[in-house]
């Protein structure tokens, strides 16, 4: 496995990959890697000749400076995990390398940008769009891998690819969960053992809600029930629980759309967690 800190060095290596007509898979991450990230690496390895993982805690997608400061960093462990999981190339740029000047370009995504995560984290998707388009330009991967864990981000990137005409095959991987159902997340590192156990209720509430919805219960009453579940949990604060279509992420109450997502954001102590479950009609 080779690790690169600069665009120049990475580009030299990628030129060799392209010259040999090998396919490449990019897995963009913010580090503090866990089995969720590694599932993307595994999928890339099974579909591409060369797997590239980027590790970059992108400051432009954090609307909360404290969240950025406290984001877990475990680079040595990340590199060991990637090596033992067969990753070929790792790109670990500095902020200066990715943003030599303060970016002024504005990428906006229309309605999807202002729903759910976009509404609760203003500027978040602009930052995501900026870093991912920069990574696509630098790396020009054949395929790029993203998790359903960040379902709205996935569709933001789909829009970026479709509207910019970027030549990359977008791949989506299912959510990897802890044994208690909690979606794996780098932010879980910041939970106490008690909070981690308690946070299992997030996925339980999603599963319960999905069952109710598919058996015909109307969303508003499911939503109220979910709100009640979290009112009964000390130290947990439900930020949103919504049923949305996955085009613009606007709220829906029925199944006219092909793919529906139940999306949730919960603050567990000081840690903000998101999760979702899909319903197909
Ligand atoms: P992050 O490092 O949190 O920016 O995540 C990097 C990529 O890993 C994103 O595409 C995420 O959606 C994906 N990811 C994060 N957690 C999980 C998980 N539990 N299961 C599957 N993919 C995940």
Angle 121-124-129 (CA atoms, 0-180°, nearest 5)? 160
DSSP 190: G
pLDDT at 255: 73
Cα 67 to ligand 1 centroid, rounded to whole Å: 17
Q: What is the pLDDT of residues 33-88, one digit of tens each?
A: 999 999 999 999 999 999 999 999 999 999 999 999 999 999 999 999 999 999 99
Indicate if ligand 1 lies below 6 Å from the C-beta of 183: yes
- For the chain, give every domain's residue range: 2-173, 186-274
Residue with tokens 């503090």: 32
- Both structure tokens of 110: 């229309």
Contact 116, 249 (CB under 8 A): yes
Q: Rounded to whole angstroms, how far apart are CA atoms 249 and 230? A: 23
Residues comprising the chain, all counted = 281
Q: Rounded to whole angstroms, how far apart are CA atoms 252 and 242? A: 9
Q: What is the pLDDT of residues 91-108, one digit of tens each?
A: 999 999 999 999 999 899
pLDDT at 254: 78
Instruction: Examine the pLDDT at 281 and tell me if it is beyond 80.
Output: no
Instruction: Examine the pLDDT at 257 and tell me if it is beyond 80.
Output: no
DSSP 217: -
DSSP 15: H
User: Which residue among the candidates 37, 120, 124, 167 is catalytic per the annotation?
Assistant: 37
Indicate if ligand 1 lies below 6 Å from the C-beta of 184: yes
In angstroms and rounded to an integer, the radius of gyration of the C-alpha atoms of the chain is 19
Nearest to 44 by CA among 123, 133, 146: 146
Fold of 2-173: Rossmann fold (3.40.50)
Q: What is the pLDDT of residues 115-149, one digit of tens each?
A: 999 999 999 999 999 999 999 999 999 999 999 99
Q: What number does the ligand 1 atom closest to the CA of 174 have?
A: 21
Nearest to 126 by CA among 152, 106, 96, 144: 106
Q: Rounded to whole angstroms, how far apart are CA atoms 94 and 234? A: 39
Indicate if ligand 1 lies below 6 Å from the C-beta of 189: no
Query: Does the domain formed by 186-274 have CATH 3.40.47.10?
Result: no
Indicate if ligand 1 lies below 6 Å from the C-beta of 186: yes
37 annotated active-site: yes
Q: What number does the ligand 1 atom closest to the CA of 177 have?
A: 19
253 pLDDT band (50/70/90 cuts)?
Answer: confident
Nearest to 54 by CA among 15, 4, 129, 96: 4
258 pLDDT band (50/70/90 cuts)?
Answer: confident
Contact 274, 135 (CB under 8 A): no
Which string of DSSP letters, residue by residue, matches 120-165? HSTTHHHHHHHHHHHHHHHH--SEEEEEGGGHHHHHHHHHHHHHHT
């Amino acid at each position: 496995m080779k690790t690169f800190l600069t665009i120049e060095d990475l580009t030299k290596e990628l030129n060799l990959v392209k010259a040999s007509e090998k396919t490449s898979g990019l897995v963009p991450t913010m580090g503090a890697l866990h089995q969720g990230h590694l599932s993307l690496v595994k999928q890339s390895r099974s579909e591409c000749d060369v797997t590239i993982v980027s590790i970059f805690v992108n400051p432009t997608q954090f609307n909360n400076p404290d969240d950025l400061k406290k984001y877990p960093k475990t680079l040595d462990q990340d590199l060991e995990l990637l090596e033992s999981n067969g990753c070929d190339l790792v790109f670990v740029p500095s902020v200066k390398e990715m943003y030599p000047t303060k970016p002024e370009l504005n990428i906006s995504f229309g309605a999807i940008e202002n729903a759910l995560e976009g509404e609760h984290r203003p500027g978040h998707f602009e930052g995501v769009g900026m870093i991912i388009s920069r990574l696509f330009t630098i790396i020009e991967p054949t395929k790029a891998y993203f998790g359903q864990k960040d379902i709205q981000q996935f569709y933001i990137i789909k829009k970026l690819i479709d509207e910019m005409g970027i030549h990359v095959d977008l791949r989506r991987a299912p959510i990897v969960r802890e044994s208690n159902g909690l979606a794996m997340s780098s932010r879980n590192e910041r939970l106490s053992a008690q909070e981690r156990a308690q946070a299992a209720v997030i996925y339980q509430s999603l599963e319960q809600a999905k069952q109710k919805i598919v058996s015909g219960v109307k969303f508003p009453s499911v939503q109220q029930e979910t709100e009640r579940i979290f009112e009964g949990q000390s130290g947990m604060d439900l930020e949103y629980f919504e049923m949305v279509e996955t085009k613009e992420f606007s709220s829906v109450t029925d199944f006219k759309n092909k793919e529906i997502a139940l999306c949730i954001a919960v603050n567990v102590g000081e840690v903000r967690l998101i999760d979702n479950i899909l319903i197909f009609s």
